[in-house]
Structure 1
Amino acid sequence: MERTNVDEPASGRPGPRRPGPAGTAADTAAPAGQKAPRGARGPGVFSLADEEKRRGVRQMKTIATGMLVLVAVVYALAEWAGSAGAGAWAGYVAAAAEAGMVGALADWFAVTALFRHPLGLPIPHTAIIPTKKDTLGRSLGDFVGENFLSSDVVRERLRAVGIGSRLGGWLAEPANAERVTAELSTALRGALTVLRDADVQAVVGEAVTRRAEAQEIAPGIGGMLDKIVADGGHRKVVDLVCVRAHDWLVEHSDSVMDAVTGGAPGWTPRFVDRKVGDRVYKELLRFVTEMRDVPDHPARGAVDRFLTDFAQDLQSDTDTRARVERLKTEVLNRDEVQDLIASAWNAVRRMVVSAAEDERSELRTRARAGLLSLGRRMASDERLQGKVDGWLEDAAVHVVTTYRDEITSLITETVAGWDAEHTSKKIEAHIGRDLQFIRINGTVVGALAGLLIHTVSRALGA
């Protein structure tokens, strides 16, 4: 007869009993923060829910065993009654009870052989789960890989789900769009907080400098300057320079006079120096005034020709382009420029973090509006839905085809690392109650089959 102690080890000998809830001998769940006990390596330690299931298994074992004992007692009484001349009915009862015992014992053996050696006897092909655990793990990994991780299965399943349409309908709800925006803002703030400013500044500075050094700027500047001159866009700048030069000369006449007289020879009389200085100042002021007030002044034409020639030199003259590149390198290598590039990251980070934290910021408002618009389009545009579904299918197929071996090996290696005895007890706790119904059904079906066979035999014999 089967032992009802679920703590029985695979060898059939009773294992050490540990106090469990409600006075049971079950393994107790490890307290939070503690490691599982030695020998309990497997799919988790026994939790309170597992203990409840194990109690249910023990109850069903008791019922199934009780039915076996019942049919045995009925068989003994029927045989006794038949030998005492009780009548033909005793034979029918004895046949049913006998077949019930056979069915109960056969199913007991089958159920018990899954988890341990029946009665501790090393019968071949018993204790299947503990002894074949690694083989079962490999088979499970192969089964998952062939039936769940194939590209056809993944594509068919994702296509049937219609993720694009569902995602579009979900995003089209304002509450969901707000939720996604909030989650993205939180993730963005977290990422910007985790990043080290010094590392990012170094990367940004190196990227900007490298890009600037790799790109020749003279032809681009020349082309832009040529277009500006052709469109007359430089004239406002010339006007501004002329106005500022005129105002400066009016306000600093003494400075101009001092500069002229200070450069005169020492042997010239002072009144001559002042006369010359005054003349130079008046001519200079007249020139600047005319250049300011006359749009077609020859000097303005000279400026136009100079800018046009310079624009052409920037685009085609090798020497000019080389000078511009040297100047660019010198400017980029200055500490002030590098500090400015590095400090740009701090400004950008502060701006983005502030915008992410403010629910009414332009960043979050635009992100929310963009998600709502995207959701409405995905919900109604079948072409866009097809694109999204195709992207997701391709991504999923890439993952399962690229990492299928790693996924299946994870299953195989995980099962191989489980403790055989602990795994067997864990599985029995989860499915053992249903398996005990096999024993009960075997007892009932066996009894009915025995009764039928005995009835047919008597009928044919008569």
Structure 2
Amino acid sequence: MERKDKGPEPTEPAGSGPPEPARAPGRGTSRFDKPAHPAPPPTPTSAPTSPPTPTSAPTPPPAPRQPFAFSEADAEKQRGVRRMKATATGLLLFVALVYVLAKWAQHSGLGGWAGYVAAAAEAGMVGAMADWFAVTALFKHPLGIPIPHTAIIPTKKDQLGVSLADFVGENFLSEDVIRARLAPLDLGGRLGAWLADPAHADRVTEELATALRGALTILRDSDVQAVVGEAITRRAESAEIAPGLGKALDKVVADGAHHRAVDLICTRAHDWLVEHGDSVMDAVQGGAPGWTPRFVDRKIGDRVYRELLRFVTEIRDMPTHPARGAIDRFLADFATDLQSDSETRARTERLKSDILNRPEVQDVIASAWSAVRAMIIAAADDDRSELRLRVRASLISLGTRLATDGRLQRKLEGWVEGAAVYVITTYRSEITSLITDTVAGWDATHTSRKIEAHIGRDLQFIRINGTVVGALVGLLIYTISKAFGA
């Protein structure tokens, strides 16, 4: 205390700004680096201070290893360990007392029995001390003496983790073990019987709907729209559509399916001419020369209109009209050109690219995802939606088939077995590294206490058994020695 009061206070050069916070021990500083009292404020006569020089933030120390949580159950187990330690130690003291009394009786000439008791008690003490040393050496240095190969768990924790990981990898994560464990489980039959129950099918359907809603909620519409739009556009641009269109058109013409479209066009054209006859005549008159009389223009316009109306009416009402045959021949020739004419195919591909690259088409492609997403979410939320009813029915049907179809059961079990073997053999090192890394991250002292709390009670029985067995062995050796006159 005297030295602390009289020790020199660390001072700070003028103009250096506020004192730097004390650094944690173990980072190149001593415990005297931190001032015992705050530095006094500068006097009015001191020189003006300059702004603090910016310094880089100190590197934070590595995070300490996280210990186990020592629960109330662990504390109760630790109390049980203490009770067993007291019992084993009490037994050691008891045989020591017996040894002292037996030796006193032997030297006092109270009888030959004292030698047998002394030998048994002596061997019991040896066994008790040897087992105490062995049990204690697992968790700490006996009597605090750093004897080699003691405190095994704290000092060899990481090596134990590696050995445990290797043991698990060799004896649990092997292909033979996985196949042997999966073979007798009858996964196909059990899964089929479980799914065939409507209540279980409802549960699986609900879980699938929840997962689907969650996935669609997490996805951003803009990202999905961009991906879907790019995928559709790239797919459409990479695939040549002219031959397919030609084959489809050829099939349509051969079946006469285009006649309904021709009928519709003729009907609409006839109706339009009837409603807009004045427009047709005005167009004809507007194109006439200026030197012709107006009544002649009206006469010509009326004649053109009536002939045009008659022509359209005949096409509409006569399936065998020559114009319809011309349309049939045109469509058939166009279908052939789409399949075989290089120029027609090239023009079709250029037209396709122009259509796909139009902003309106891209907007339609992008908006399709929003409509599909809303439709799927609505179906997933509705217990009676067609989607959920079909999924439920499919699950029940699958379960029924699995429960009765041995071939399907074997196929499913083969898939599950193959998937399990693939995962285990492919990711064995990652799985075992989880054990290694987890054990390496444990605090050594706390780990030792945790393990001792769980197995220490049984280890104290080793001390008790060592005392009893040692006494019996000592008694046997002493008896044999006496029998042979040693």
Q: TM-score range by the shorter chain?
A: 0.7 to 0.9
Distance 2:70 2:342 in 1: 81
CA deviation string 1:79-136 (max 9, x = no partner): 2233334333333333332222222112111111111221122323222222222322
Q: Does 2:330 match 1:306?
A: yes
TM-score norm. by structure 1 comes to 0.87
For 1:240 and 1:134, the matched residues in 2 are separated by 84
* CA distance in 1: counterparts of 2:301 and 2:436, whole angstroms: 100
Question: Residue in 2 aligned with 1:267?
Answer: 291
Q: What is the distance in 1 between the residues matched to 2:479 and 2:79?
A: 40
- Tell me the CA shift for residue 461 of structure 1: 4.5
The answer to whether structure 1 residue 116 and structure 2 residue 140 are counterparts is yes
Partner of 1:31: none
Identity of aligned residues (%): 75
Give yes or no for the alignment of 1:155 onto 2:175. no
Specify the alignment match of 1:88 in structure 2. 112
Report the alpha carbon displacement of residue 168 of structure 1 after superposing the two structures with TM: 2.2
Contact in 1 for aligned 2:103/2:114 (Cα 8 Å): yes
- Kept in 2, the 8 Å contact 1:104–1:442? The answer is yes
Q: Which amino acid aligns with 2:291?
A: W
Change (3 A) 1:39 1:72: farther
1:208 aligns with 2:232: yes
> What secondary structure, in the 3-state scheme, does the structure 2 residue paired with 1:109 have?
helix
What are the within-5 Å matches in structure 2 for residues 212-231 of structure 1?
Answer: 212-231=236-255
Aligned partner of residue 427 in structure 1, secondary structure: helix
Residues 23-80 of structure 1, C-alpha deviations (whole Å, 9 max, x = no match): xxxxxxxxxxxxxxx9983662322222111111111101111111111112222222
Match status 1:55 vs 2:55: no
Where do 1:320-331 residues align within 5 Å?
Answer: 320-331=344-355
Map of 2:361 onto structure 1: 337
Residue 221 of structure 1, CA deviation: 0.9
Letter in 2 for 1:146: E
The code of the aligned residue for 1:252 comes to H
1-structure distance, mates of 2:485, 2:200 = 78
CA distance in 2, matches of 1:417, 1:285: 93
Q: Which residue pairs with 2:161 in the alignment?
A: 137
Match of 2:414 in 1: 390
Aligned match for 2:370, one of 333, 346, 360 = 346
Flag structure 2 segments of 5+ consecutive residues without an equivalent: 1-61
Q: How does 1:271-286 map to 2 (within 5 A)?
A: 271-286=295-310
Q: Which has the higher helix share?
A: 1
Partner of 1:32: none
Q: Is the 8 A contact 2:68 2:446 kept in 1?
A: no
Partners of 1:300 and 1:80 lie apart in 2 by 136
Give matches, 1:155-194, under 5 Å.
155-194=179-218
Q: Is the Cα contact below 8 Å between 1:41 and 1:422 reproduced in 2?
A: no
Residue 430 and residue 42 in structure 1: after superposition, are their counterparts in 2 closer, same or farther (change >3 A)?
Answer: farther
CA distance in 1, matches of 2:465, 2:370: 74
Name the structure 2 match of 1:12. none
Query: 1:296 and 2:320 equivalent?
Result: yes
User: 2:188 and 2:351 mapped to 1: Cα distance?
Assistant: 53
Tell me what 1:365 maps to: 389
Q: Are the counterparts in 1 of residues 105 and 114 from structure 2 also a CA contact under 8 Å? A: yes
Match of 1:102 among 126, 141, 146: 126
CA distance in 2, matches of 1:253, 1:229: 33
Gaps of 5+ in 1: 1-37
- Checking the alignment, whether the CA contact within 8 Å between 1:223 and 1:311 is kept in structure 2 is yes
Q: Which residue of 1 aligns with 2:431?
A: 407
CA-atom RMSD, angstroms? 2.1
- Structure 1 stretch displaced more, 186-195 or 413-422: 413-422
Give the counterpart letter for 1:51 in structure 2: A
Distance 1:212 1:40 in 2: 57
- In 1, distance between residues paired with 2:157 and 2:324? 94
CA contact (8 A) 1:172 1:371 kept: yes
SS in 1 for 2:333: helix
1:421 alignment partner AA? T
CA contact (8 A) 2:237 2:353 kept: yes
Structure 1 residue matching 2:377: 3-state secondary structure: helix
Tell me if the contact between 2:103 and 2:115 (Cα under 8 Å) persists in the aligned partners: yes
Equivalent-residue separation in structure 1 for 2:409 and 2:291 (angstroms): 93
C-alpha deviations, 1:299-338, integer Å up to 9, x for none?
A: 1111100110111111111221122112111111111111
- 1:419 matched to which residue of 2? 443
1:239/1:292 contact within 8 Å kept: yes
Structure 1 residues 39 and 289, CA gap change in structure 2 (3 angstroms): closer
CA distance in 1, matches of 2:190, 2:266: 66
